[in-house]
Structure 1
Amino acid sequence: MKLDNYITSSTARVKSDKNVPRANFETVKAIAEKKLHEAQAARSKADLNGVTVEFYGNSKHQKDFWKLNWKEAPDSSHPDARIYSAYGVEGREPTAYYCPETHESVFFNTEYYGQCKSWALGMAAAIMEEKRNTHSIHGACVDVSGKGVIIVAPTGTGKTTQAFKLMELPGGRIVGDDWVYIDHNEGEQLRHLVGRQPEKSLYMRTETQMSKPWLRKIFDKSKCENITTTKESCEFTEGLTGCKLTSGKCVFDEGLHWCLLRRDDKSPPEVHLDADGAIKVLRKGEYMVRPGAGPKEMWGKLASEPWYNPYLLLLDHARQEQFFRRMISKFDVKCILLNTGVDSIDGTHKRIISTLDDT
C-alpha cells in the first residue's frame, strides 16, 4: 500500500508579516491575484463556526487539505476573511502577509498546509473576538460524560496523550485536539460554558500513532503531508537506531475543567491556580523549544508564546486576559497546572480524573 504523502518545498511556517497596512497589502494581493487568474485557480469557502473564510489558491495540495479540513460554507455566503495562496510566483521568497484591516492573507510560494490552516483559525479568531465575544483557545478539548476538559500546553508536554486517554474513558469523546471556541454570550445565557471546534477532519501529527496503534489504519488511508517514511530521508538519524533530536527517545506533540501542562524536573507535579496565577502563567507563555519544533538555533532554549497560542494574528493581551479571567472567576472553571516532567503519563491522567470527580 502506497501512502498518499505530499512533500512540500517549505515544510514549516514561512517568514511572515502579520500587520501589513491596507495600502501595502493591496499591492502584494494584486501580484497574487494576477498569478491566480492566470492559473484559473479555484475558490473554496469554509465555515469556521459561523465565520466564512474563503481560500483562493493554485496549489491542489492545499485545496485538497482545505476541503477535507473544514465544513463547507454555502456558495452564496459572503466571505468574512480570505486567503490568497499563489504558488510559482517568480522573484518572491516564500512569505505570508496578513492585513488586520481587511482580514485577508496572502501566501507566496508555499504549499505547506499547516500555516494555511493556522492563519484561517487566526483570522476567524480575530473576527469572533471583535464581533461575537467569543474566545479562541489553542488546546485540546475533551467531553467526559458531559464534563468538558480543555488542555492548554506547549509542544511536547503531553497534551495529545492526555486528551486521548480521556477519550478512551467510558463517556469520553474528543471535541478537538488543537482548537476550541468559547462563546461568552452563550455562557451568560446558559450559565455555563460550552466548548466547540470548527474542524470537519482533524489535522494531526502522525506520531500520535506510536502510542495509539488504532490510528495507523486511519493515517494509512488519509492524505498526509511531509511524512518521513524512510531512514534515508530523515536528517536526524544517528547510527542504526539512534536519533540526534531525542537521544534515542521519541518525543512528540502529545503539540468545563482546564489543565495547563508543563515539563521540567523541578516544579511540583500539581498546582491549583486561581485567576491571577493562571493569567501569569498564560501571559508569560514560557516553554522550552524542543528539537525539530523551531529554528535550530533555538533548540533547548527558553522561548515565549503568549497565551500558548501561536495562531493569534491580532494579539490583544487585555482581551485575552479578560476572557480567561471570566472563565475562572465568573464561571468557576477549575484550573490545574500539571508537570509531566516529574510524573508519569498515568499519574498525570489520574490527577485530571481526580479533579473531574471532585466537581
Structure 2
Amino acid sequence: MAYDIELISTAEKEELFSRYEARFLYSSKCSLHGICLRLLTDQEQTKEYWEDNFYSMSESVRSHGRLIVLDDPERKMGVKYDPLSRTAFLFNIDYYGWVKSIALAVACDILEDQHRIFSVHGAALDVKGQGASLIAPSKTGKTTHSWGLLRMEDARLVTDDWYFVQLSERRPLAYGSEKNFYVEGDIAGIWPEYQGLVDRARFDNKGRAIVNVRWTVGQGGVVPMTTMYHIILLKRDKGDERTVIPMSTGDALDYLVKNNFCNPHQLVRDERKLALRTEFFRKFLERCEVHMVNTAGDPLSTQDAIRRIVCGGTCE
C-alpha cells in the first residue's frame, strides 16, 4: 500500500472536522450505486475531476459518507477513517486515482454492511449479452485488456476499475458506478483506436486523465450493468509458460485471498470483514466460469487468449 490507513473514533473525526472546516471551499455530492457521498476540499482540480468522474447527486440529499481531501505539510500522507460516520480524511494525496478509489471504498463499506452488496476491484464488460470480469493485482494489465476487449463490436464497458455485485439464486449482477474513466495516456500506444480520445484529454501530474470513452465507442458502448458469466484473473509470471489456466473455485479463492482480493483500498480489514468478503467471493466464483490468464506475453497474443475465453472461440 502506497499510503497508510488509520481508523479513528468519531470524537477524533469531530476534532479534525472542526480544525479544518474553514478550508472546505468546495463541496460536491455524487451517487455511487445509490450511496450519496460528499466531497469537501480546497482543491479545485480534485473537485473538477470528481464531477467529471462520478454521477452527480442532488445537494438536497443527505450524504451517507464523506471524503475530506486536503494538504497539510505538518502531516504525513495518508487516510484517517471513521467507520461509524463513514468519514475519510485524505491528507497530502495528489493522485486522483487514490481519491476515487477511497470514495468507492467508503461506498463499499456501507453497502456490504447494510445491503450485502459487495465490491470487486476489477473491470467488467458485457460481451454479446454475457458479463466478463478481469480481476488482477496492480500492473498486470487489467485496464489494458478491458479497453482491448472494448474494441470488439459486441462489447460494452461497465467499468474498467471497480464494480458492485448483487448475488441471488440466479447469475450475479454487476453494476458500475463511474460516469467517466481515469486512464493512463499510454493506452493509445497499445490500442491506436483510442488516440483521438487521448489527444482531447487533459492529463494530470501522474500522466492520467478522466475521459469519456463514449467519444470513441459511441453512447451505447458504456452500460450500467451486466449479468456475470466469466471471471478472468490475471497474473504476470514470465516463469510460467502457460497463458490460459482453468481454475477451480477453491484455487481462485485462494489466489484472491492471498492477494488481498486484488484491492489495496479496503478501509476496514478486520476478521469480520475478511469473513464477509471471503464468503462473497466464494459464492461469486461458484456462479461463474473462472480462468487465470498470464499477461507476460505481448498484449496482442494475451488479448486473443482473453477473447477466446469470453467468446468461446467465436470472437471476430
TM-score above 0.5? yes
What does residue 200 of structure 2 align with? 221
Identity %: 26
The question of 1:104 aligning with 2:87 is answered yes
Q: Distance in 2 between matches of 1:281 and 1:90?
A: 39
Choose 21-30 or 172-181, whichever is displaced more. 21-30
Which SS does the other structure have where 1:114 is aligned? Answer: helix
In 2, the alpha carbon distance for the partners of 1:339 and 1:110 equals 32
- The Cα RMSD (Å) is 2.2
Report Cα offsets for 1:15-62 as digits up to 9, x if no partner: 4333112222222222121333xxxx1211100110000001111010
Q: In structure 1, the residue corresponding to 2:80 is in which secondary structure?
A: strand
Structure 2 residue matching 1:74: 3-state secondary structure = coil
- When structure 1 is superposed on structure 2, of 133-142 and 217-226 the one drifting more is 217-226
How many residue pairs get aligned? The number is: 289
Stretch of structure 1 that moved more, 259-268 or 207-216: 207-216
Could you tell me how far apart the structure 1 residues matched to 2:12 and 2:195 are?
46
Are positions 1:307 and 2:261 aligned together?
Answer: yes
Correspondence 1:311-326 to 2 at 5 A: 311-315=265-269, 316-326=273-283
Q: What is the alpha-carbon distance in structure 1 between the residues aligned to residue 78 and residue 237 of structure 2?
A: 35
Residue 348 of structure 1 aligns with an amino acid whose one-letter code is T
Shift of 1:228: 5.8
Larger Rg computed on CA atoms: 1
Q: Which runs of 4+ in 1 moved over 4 A?
A: none
Q: In the alignment, is the contact (CA less than 8 A) between 1:32 and 1:106 conserved in 2?
A: no
**Inter-partner Cα distance in structure 2 for 1:138 and 1:208:** 19
- Asked whether the equivalents of residues 188 and 195 of structure 2 are also in contact (C-alpha less than 8 Å), the reply is yes
More moved, 78-87 vs 103-112:
103-112
Whole-Å separation in 1 of the counterparts to 2:193 and 2:251:
38
The partner residue of 1:57 within 24, 27, 41 is 41
Is residue 285 of structure 2 the alignment partner of residue 337 of structure 1?
Answer: no
Counterpart of 1:171 (choices 146, 154, 179) is: 154
Which consecutive unaligned segments of at least 5 residues does structure 2 have? 209-228
Query: Is the CA contact (8 Å cut-off) linking 2:249 and 2:285 kept in structure 1?
Result: yes
Q: Which residue is equivalent to 2:177?
A: 198
Structure-2 change in CA distance of 1:98 and 1:200 (3 Å): same
1:247-326 equivalences under 5 Å are 256-267=229-240, 268-285=242-259, 306-315=260-269, 316-326=273-283
Residue 77 of structure 1: SS of its match in structure 2?
A: coil
CA distance in 1, matches of 2:9, 2:198: 41
Q: Give the direction of change, closer, same or farther, for the CA distance of 1:90–1:152 in structure 2 (3 Å limit).
A: closer
Which segment is superposed worse, 315-324 or 265-274? 265-274
Rounded to whole Å, the distance in 1 between the matches of 2:30 and 2:202 is 19
Alignment check: 8 A CA contact 1:151 1:163 kept = yes
Could you tell me how far 1:109 is from its partner in structure 2?
A: 4.0
Gaps of 5+ in 1: 1-12, 230-255, 286-305
The answer as to whether partners of 2:95 and 2:206 remain within 8 angstroms in 1 is no
Alignment CA distance shift 1:113-1:354 (3 Å): closer
Once the 2 structures are TM-superposed, how far is the Cα of residue 14 of structure 1 from its aligned partner?
Answer: 6.9
Given the two structures, how large is their TM-score scaled by the length of structure 1?
A: 0.75
Question: Residues 69 and 101 from structure 1, CA distance in 2 versus in 1: closer, same or farther, beyond 3 angstroms?
Answer: same
State the alpha-carbon separation in 2 of the partners of residues 34 and 319 from structure 1. 39
**Partner secondary structure for residue 75 of structure 1:** coil
SS at match of 2:192: coil
Alignment of 1:137-152 (within 5 A): 137-152=120-135
1:135 paired residue number: 118
Question: Which residue identity is paired with 2:301?
Answer: G
Does 1:73 pair with 2:57? yes
Distance 2:193 2:135 in 1: 25
Bigger mean CA deviation after superposition, 43-52 or 262-271: 262-271
Q: For residues 295-324 of structure 1, what are the alpha-carbon distances to aligned partners after superposition, in whole Å with 9 as ceiling and x for unaligned? A: xxxxxxxxxxx1110121123221111111
Secondary structure of 1:279's aligned partner? helix
Over residues 315-359 of structure 1, what are the superposed CA-to-partner deviations in whole Å (9 max), with x where a residue is unaligned? 322111111111122x2x011011122x44343333333333449
Distance 1:227 1:325, change over 3 A: closer
> What SS does structure 2 have at the residue aligned with 1:154?
coil
Which of 69, 83, 93 is residue 85 of structure 1 equivalent to? 69
Match of 1:241 in 2: none
**Structure 1 residue 282: deviation in Å?**
0.6
| 1:328 maps to amino acid | L
Partners of 1:177 and 1:355 lie apart in 2 by 18
In structure 2, the CA distance between the partners of 1:25 and 1:16, relative to structure 1 (3 Å rule), is farther
Q: Give the alignment partner of residue 211 of structure 1, picking from 182, 187, 190.
A: 190
Distance 1:352 1:112, change over 3 A: closer
Structure 1 position 66, deviation (Å): 0.7
- Greater Cα shift, 261-270 or 116-125: 261-270
For residue 167 of structure 1, report the CA deviation from its aligned partner: 1.4
* Pair 1:31 & 2:10 matched: no
CA distance in 2, matches of 1:265, 1:224: 32
Q: Which whole-Å CA distance do the structure 2 matches of 1:321 and 1:126 have between them?
A: 15
Cα 1:60–1:317 change in 2 (3 A) is same
3-state SS, counterpart of residue 195 of structure 1: strand
